[in-house]
Structure 1
Amino acid sequence: MDPDGENLRDAQCAVAVFACARLLADTIASTPWHLYERYTRQSLLTPLISQPCAGVDSSEWKWRNVTSLALRGNAYNLITARDGDGHPAELTPLHPDAVTAIQRTPDADGMIYLVAGDRVRPMDIVHITRYRMPGQLFGLSPIRQAAQSIGISIAAEEPTPGVGIDWKPITIAPEELRFLEDRNFGAPQIACIYGIPPSLIDGRTEDALDVHTTMNWTACIEQAVSSCLPRGQFVRFEQYAQLHRS
């Protein structure tokens, strides 16, 4: 096997995956979201929506979470502050590789979370998932989900030791990169795995990502954040209004 050719294939696959993740993250990060009162549908003002945590505005918060979902299928946020009623006042995004999640039972109360090796109560973690399988509380990345859909199981490698909670770039899981390379998947196939038109990845068009594609990603964020808000409140991305106007 030509090592130079193998390295080139790795690079081509990695570039395509990162292009898909970046397009999703950039698009959703720039999409406004709002907090609403369920019965009056009135928009409410809250720092949690404009700046979910210290030093991270809403655009950066959304970008980090979508990137985690696109490359790991899971995004974790630590509740670092609460209001007087005990509801989250700050949601701090965690690097997904800094979190070890263990499912003991089918319900959320059976989850164990370790953040950089320290155990954290499940009630202090907002866990967002993508491509969650029945009976599972973990999400799957699009690549891992695609592998399972054709009957291929990708064994997860042990997480890299020493990963701290500070944010840093997320790499592609090595076992997922091997899956793409072994099957000679190029940019068109990888784009299809992410539900993105290949023309948006290879530069043939400058069209925006379709709202129907991004809705599949924002829905899980909306559900997870809304679940920890005061009863009767929920968050929605503005794309829903854009969809109804189209």
Structure 2
Amino acid sequence: MRWPWQKTETRAASSFVALASLPASHWGRLDAGTLMREGYSGNAVVYRCVRMIAEAAASIPLSVSNDEDAAHLLSNPSPDEAGRVLLERLYGDLQITGNAWAEAVTLSGDSEPKGIFALRADTVRAETNAQGGLIGWAVRQRRGERTLHREADGWSPVLHLKLYHPSDGIYGFSPLAAARKALDIHNGAAAWAKSLIDNAARPSGALVYGKNGSSLTPDQFDRLKEEIETAHAGKHNAGRPLLLDGGLDWKPMSLSPAEMDFAETRHAASREIALAFGVPPMLLGIPGDNTYATYKEANLAFWRLTVLPLVCKVADALQMWLSGRFEDITIKPDLDEVPAFAAEREALWSRLEAASFLTAEEKRRLAGVEA
């Protein structure tokens, strides 16, 4: 032992080469195409969360008052799809990429839009000026791009819906981007398990050399280590069998999928993904700790805390956007059509009915019913 805190390096008589290592972590990209491909298309938990939110939100009808043309436009935005289908696409894009775009089509000589079409989130990019201000949207087509600018009166034919992003004033931030690490862990665990199955499901382990006191030379040690890292490390080589010779012995280690509990790791990643989307894990059938005592409570929390704020946000954005072409319109979600809120409505009506100090007109106003 040398002073201070120095010691000479010695090699034991028995060489021990492990097949496990902890390289630097690499996380996936956050662009729209990658999130769609690896998230929505490549992960069942993400797919189910997005479908649940988009379908539930689109099932809440949007009531339009003071303009029949605007109401007809939202219920029949295009000849090929209904209003609910358009809203489902917008809600889905918001959950996957944090952004959603819709384009209003106006006929020549007419100021009011006659159709609304959703734009694919991975084909739209912002056009900015030298100061970084937004001046239009470039939409990628099969050949080239087309740019949509504001009209002469300042109205934009493009509606941009986005979720709050703390460091970007143009684009929104996706729940899936916040759960990107959990998504990579979930997909990586699935790929690792599949690789083990493809390679005869053999566990990890180590090579032991030198039972009789002999040891590897430095060149042999380095060459064997390089061969192990090249041919037996990583998820693509998981469980790959070894050819042992020259006094090498195989020693299993505690790095098998059962001992590392890949199933529980995937469940934990699934719960984190569901948390980012605001979907109670109980509704997805994910085992583990449940915050809500019953399925009914979890379902009500899902509608009240996740779906309803999203619908109100989109309704307000549509009202502001279309008010530039339809005067004095009001767009609000019709909650009377939502079965999940039936118990709350009944409780409200019972309290209003028992309030003898209120007039019938005041009761109707508090219940949200027009006179």
Structure 1-normalised TM-score? 0.68
1: distance between equivalents of 2:331 and 2:185?
36
The offset of 1:124, in angstroms, is: 2.2
In our comparison, the structure showing a higher alpha carbon Rg is: 2
Deviation, 1:236, is 1.3
Report what 2:164 is aligned to. 131
Paired residue for 2:57? 28
Report the aligned-residue RMSD.
3.7
Query: Which position in structure 1 is the counterpart of 2:95?
Result: 70
Q: Give the fraction of aligned pairs with identical amino acids, expressed as a percent.
A: 20
Retained in 1: the 8 A contact 2:97–2:176?
A: no
- Post-superposition Cα deviations, 1:106-143, rounded to whole Å, max 9, x if no partner, equal 655x3432232422224221111122336512111112
Q: Which moved more, 1:87-96 or 1:97-106?
A: 97-106
Native 8 Å contact 1:78 1:92 kept in 2: yes
Superposition deviation, residue 54 in structure 1: 1.9
1:119 and 2:215 matched: no
* Separation in structure 1 between the aligned mates of residue 125 and residue 83 of structure 2, nearest angstrom: 25
Structure 1 residues 11 and 88: alpha-carbon distance in aligned structure 2, compared to 1, 3 A threshold: closer
SS of residue in 2 equivalent to 1:27? helix
Asked if 2 retains the 8 angstrom alpha-carbon contact of 1:87 and 1:228, the reply is: no
Paired position in structure 2 for 1:215: 308
> Would the alpha carbon gap of residues 88 and 225 (structure 1) be closer, same or farther in structure 2, given more than 3 Å must change?
farther
Taking structure 1 as reference, are residues 233 and 97 closer, same or farther at Cα in structure 2, changes over 3 Å only?
same
Amino acid at match of 1:50: S
Q: 1:64 to 1:49 in 2, by over 3 A?
A: same
Match for residue 15 of structure 1? 44
Please list the CA deviations of residues 60-107 of structure 1 after superposition, one character each: whole Å capped at 9, or x if unmatched: 111111111111111111212359762323110122112223444565
- 1:34-53 Cα offsets, whole Å, 9 max, x none, are 1124xxxx988731121122
Q: Distance in 2 between matches of 1:44 and 1:78?
A: 17
Say if 2:78 and 2:115, in contact at 8 Å, map to a contact too.
yes
In structure 2, C-alpha distance between the alignment counterparts of 1:74 and 1:61, rounded to whole Å? 14
Q: Is the 8 A contact 1:83 1:89 kept in 2?
A: no
Aligned twin of 1:53: 78
Q: Which runs of 5+ in 1 are unaligned?
A: 2-8, 148-153, 155-174
Quick one: structure 1 residues 83 and 13, their matched pair in 2 at CA, closer, same or farther if it must change by over 3 Å?
same
SS at match of 1:210: helix
CA displacement 1:182-238 (0-9 Å, x = unmatched): 796522111111111111112784746323311221133213211222232131111
SS state at 2:106 partner: strand
Structure 2 unaligned residues grouped into runs of 5+: 1-19, 21-37, 150-155, 189-264, 288-294, 349-371
What SS does the corresponding residue of 1:112 show, helix, strand or coil? strand
Partner Cα distance (1:106, 1:218) in 2? 30
CA distance in 1 between counterparts of 2:120 and 2:132 reads 24
Which of 193, 198, 204 matches 2:281? 198
Residues 19 and 86 of structure 1, relative CA distance in 2, 3 Å threshold? same
The structure, 1 or 2, with the larger RCO (C-alpha pairs under 8 Å, 6+ apart) is 1
SS of residue paired to 1:52: coil
